[in-house]
Structure 1
Amino acid sequence: MADDEAHFGEGQQVVHAVTFSSRYVVAGLLSGALVLTVPGTASATWPPSAGTQGNTKQSGSSTAGTLVSRVTYSGSVRSGNGGTAVQPVTDWTPPACWYEPRSVAEFRDYVETMYTDTINTPGQANYAKAAVGEFRDIYKDGKYKNYNEDEAADGSWWVAVQNPDRLDDPASWQCSDLPFWVANNDDPGVPQAVTPKILAEAAYDAIQLPDTKVTLAPADITKVNLATWAWLDKTDFKQVSVTASLNAGGLNIQATTTAKPISLKLEPGTSDAETYPASGVCTLNPDGSIGEPYARGKADRTPPCGIKYLRSSGDGSYHLKATITWQISWSGSGGAGGDLPDGTFGTTQDIKVQEAQAVNR
């Protein structure tokens, strides 16, 4: 069997190349074993939004030799795979793979290009040539005839793609069915068939959240037993959104996922400290801010959000961790929408704590 597989990033798109064997094509190898799945019953109502599938002009565009996810992202999007993704607070992960439709022309061009490139590559192994030939025969002269060109207006080919942010996740190989034909408005019959909700979950993975560096008073250097005020200004601390869209194979859907900050958790970096409030969790104020800025005249007050260190950090620093919890919701095509698991996103900043015999306020 030829273990020919590749993944290539293209901006916010993922390229998914198929792996071949002499009897079938699979999405990948996991622990040295072939991973195959059997189509099941789709979990969502189909079509995912009324009037979005069927009687759509077929496009002849293709990306030679690869199956590229047509999902695009806009809004507060992380650059490539850079940055830190939102971390769900529950045992939940965004989808690692899904199935998308392709027009007859796109799928035909993909298979023919792959076949030609493999056959004409100098030194290519005979078993690889045989495998790609058998794969091509399924759609050209075997189970299907000439890629179903005579039915181009009546349906689409559905293919597996992977979430570009989940390429290292073994679950990304679960979408391992051969490309299959689906008539317009028919249920594809696989749980991972792309829907607005799947797009919303993929957008969850793509969100770029703002930095969570907390403003402190005193800043960077404080004193033992001196209350340190902490706050996040609403102008730098606001909700963000990412929209994921798919227009391919007669399917035109989208979903917008929005992250709204709801609380800040302070972890002092040492047990020799007290937090305000005692839980260390500072909730959102009515105006969208968290905590309260320090000002002259507040020295004798207890901060609504803050820390008091009880021991010096010596020659080093304490690592204050500030973690924001974000409430995640989504809305999509056909009026779909709902909530996704809350997410967290945090950073660490160094705080130097000095001894002081007395503090003048």
Structure 2
Amino acid sequence: MAPHAAAEPIDTGAGSETEQSGGSNDNGIYATARVTYSGSVAPNGASGNVTSADVNWVPPPCWYAPYLGAKDFKKKMSQDIERQLKTPGIGSTAGSALTELKRHYEAGYGWADNPGYEDYNVDKDGEGMFWAGVENPNEPDVLKRSSCNDLPFWVDNGEAPPPQYEEAISPEILAALAYQHMQLPDTEVSLAPEQTTKVNLPTWAWLDKAVFDEVQATAAINVPGLNLEATTTARPVSLTLEPGTDDAVTYPASGECLINDDGSIGEPYARGKANRTPPCGIKYLRSSGNSTYNLQATITWDMSWTGTGGAGGDLPDGTFGNGQAVTVQEIQSVNR
């Protein structure tokens, strides 16, 4: 019976700023508190392109957030209860549950950790809001998405939700949502030789600092009595090269090129370096024939966040990779 606020994505037309909201009623009271996203985020409320390096980390599938003021909640809830009670063929069990729900919000009937309300708390209208579960529209698992299913509960303006509601919206949850929506740049690794190389010829790889900098995404929620935000920051730390074939060696051997002191990765090739081993690169041992090798260049980003009230901390590293087609030719020679 807990009304869930379906957080459908809304295209604001801004590109770098999106909202997820259940809309608002004619009085301008939010049907659910909107989460707004800004900075380097995917458009239209979609998930971004960051993959968590921690396979066990997942963004929140749902959360509790402000839903309606007391008068609006009474209007909606009482209408819904009466409509369902009048449904033809309603069973005794369902009817009893609806009656208990009505007692909970009208007559103060409650239980441990969830006290009842007299007349839907109308005498406190404007002093707080009823909170309800909000589904994360980007969560594919419907069971997880709908798991914030406790009955709507009252929270006074400026007060924290009761401690049993661990999924209540918070700067930490907003930081995780910003992480989920972050869009990292498509950064193509510079190669020398470019696109076409030779068997047993070291290929140098590098990224300049100018195209390789930190990225930020912010998630915020703002309603009367509640103003929270969190900014998630991604800082590049390394580049991992996967040649696309087992017939290759990488420099360094691990394939992971760490960031330099000046913020770049690797070293650009220049004349006179032909006999040197590149600090970051690949050497292919076999021709790609009439095809190409798919070189995967994956950047690892250090993820952290800061939020309202000085909150902050670390998040799992994020990764994002690009594929580049590399042609490897074999040098033909004739001995006489």
Task: Quickly name the TM-score band, shorter chain normalised.
Answer: 0.7 to 0.9
Rounded Cα–Cα distance in structure 1 between residues aligned with 2:79 and 2:326: 57
Where does the alignment leave 5 or more consecutive residues of structure 2 unmatched? 12-17, 109-116
How far off is 1:104 after superposition?
1.1
- Secondary structure in 1 aligned to 2:124? helix
Rounded Cα–Cα distance in structure 2 between residues aligned with 1:114 and 1:348: 55
How far off is 1:217 after superposition?
1.1
Query: Which deviates more from structure 2 when the two are superposed, residues 103-112 or residues 284-293?
Result: 103-112
How far off is 1:296 after superposition?
1.8
CA contact (8 A) 2:7 2:136 kept: no
- Among the aligned pairs, what percent are the same residue? 50
- Secondary structure in 2 aligned to 1:80? helix
Give 1:238-257 correspondences, 5 Å limit. Answer: 238-257=213-232
How far off is 1:216 after superposition?
1.0
Q: 2:28 aligns with which of 61, 77, 94?
A: 61
User: Once the two structures are superposed, what CA deviation does each residue of 1:192-241 show, in whole Å capped at 9, x if it has no partner?
Assistant: 01111111111111111001321111111111111111111111111111
CA contact (8 A) 1:104 1:147 kept: no
1:198 matched to 2:173 = yes
Give 1:141-156 correspondences, 5 Å limit. Answer: 141-143=106-108, 144-156=117-129
In structure 1, the residue matched to 2:139 is 166
Question: Cα gap change, 1:7/1:193 in structure 2, threshold over 3 Å: closer, same or farther?
Answer: closer
Normalised by the size of structure 1, how large is the TM-score? Answer: 0.75
- Secondary structure in 2 aligned to 1:266? strand
Question: Cα gap change, 1:84/1:264 in structure 2, threshold over 3 Å: closer, same or farther?
Answer: same
- Secondary structure in 2 aligned to 1:308? strand
Which residue identity is paired with 2:238? S
- Secondary structure in 1 aligned to 2:254? coil
Give 1:201-220 correspondences, 5 Å limit. Answer: 201-220=176-195
User: Once the two structures are superposed, what CA deviation does each residue of 1:276-313 show, in whole Å capped at 9, x if it has no partner?
Assistant: 11100000011111111112222111111110000011
CA contact (8 A) 2:70 2:126 kept: no
1:99 matched to 2:64 = yes
Question: Cα gap change, 1:276/1:254 in structure 2, threshold over 3 Å: closer, same or farther?
Answer: same
Rounded Cα–Cα distance in structure 2 between residues aligned with 1:135 and 1:74: 43
Rounded Cα–Cα distance in structure 1 between residues aligned with 2:217 and 2:239: 22
Rounded Cα–Cα distance in structure 2 between residues aligned with 1:265 and 1:106: 57
User: Once the two structures are superposed, what CA deviation does each residue of 1:239-270 show, in whole Å capped at 9, x if it has no partner?
Assistant: 11111111124111111110001000000011
1:70 matched to 2:45 = no
In structure 2, the residue matched to 1:50 is none
1:272 matched to 2:247 = yes
Rounded Cα–Cα distance in structure 1 between residues aligned with 2:320 and 2:330: 32
CA contact (8 A) 2:32 2:68 kept: no
- Secondary structure in 2 aligned to 1:98? strand
1:9 matched to 2:9 = yes
In structure 2, the residue matched to 1:296 is 271
CA contact (8 A) 1:100 1:248 kept: no
- Secondary structure in 2 aligned to 1:211? coil
CA contact (8 A) 1:261 1:324 kept: yes
How far off is 1:152 after superposition?
2.3
CA contact (8 A) 1:62 1:110 kept: no
Q: 1:344 aligns with which of 306, 319, 326?
A: 319
Q: 2:73 aligns with which of 98, 108, 128?
A: 108
Rounded Cα–Cα distance in structure 1 between residues aligned with 2:99 and 2:289: 70
Question: Of the two structures, which has the highest relative contact order with CA contacts closer than 8 Å and spacing of 6 or more?
Answer: 1
Normalised by the size of structure 2, how large is the TM-score? Answer: 0.80
Query: Which deviates more from structure 2 when the two are superposed, residues 148-157 or residues 189-198?
Result: 148-157
Q: 2:203 aligns with which of 207, 228, 235?
A: 228
CA contact (8 A) 1:13 1:164 kept: no
Rounded Cα–Cα distance in structure 2 between residues aligned with 1:211 and 1:155: 44
Which residue identity is paired with 1:194? I
How far off is 1:147 after superposition?
3.1
Question: Cα gap change, 1:247/1:139 in structure 2, threshold over 3 Å: closer, same or farther?
Answer: farther
Question: Cα gap change, 1:78/1:100 in structure 2, threshold over 3 Å: closer, same or farther?
Answer: same
Instruction: Report the RMSD for the aligned CA atoms in angstroms.
Output: 3.4
User: Once the two structures are superposed, what CA deviation does each residue of 1:37-88 show, in whole Å capped at 9, x if it has no partner?
Assistant: xxxxxxxxxxxxxxxxxxxxxx94246xxx4441111111111355653111
Rounded Cα–Cα distance in structure 2 between residues aligned with 1:240 and 1:356: 42
CA contact (8 A) 1:218 1:229 kept: yes
CA contact (8 A) 1:102 1:248 kept: no
Rounded Cα–Cα distance in structure 2 between residues aligned with 1:295 and 1:234: 18
Rounded Cα–Cα distance in structure 2 between residues aligned with 1:114 and 1:234: 60
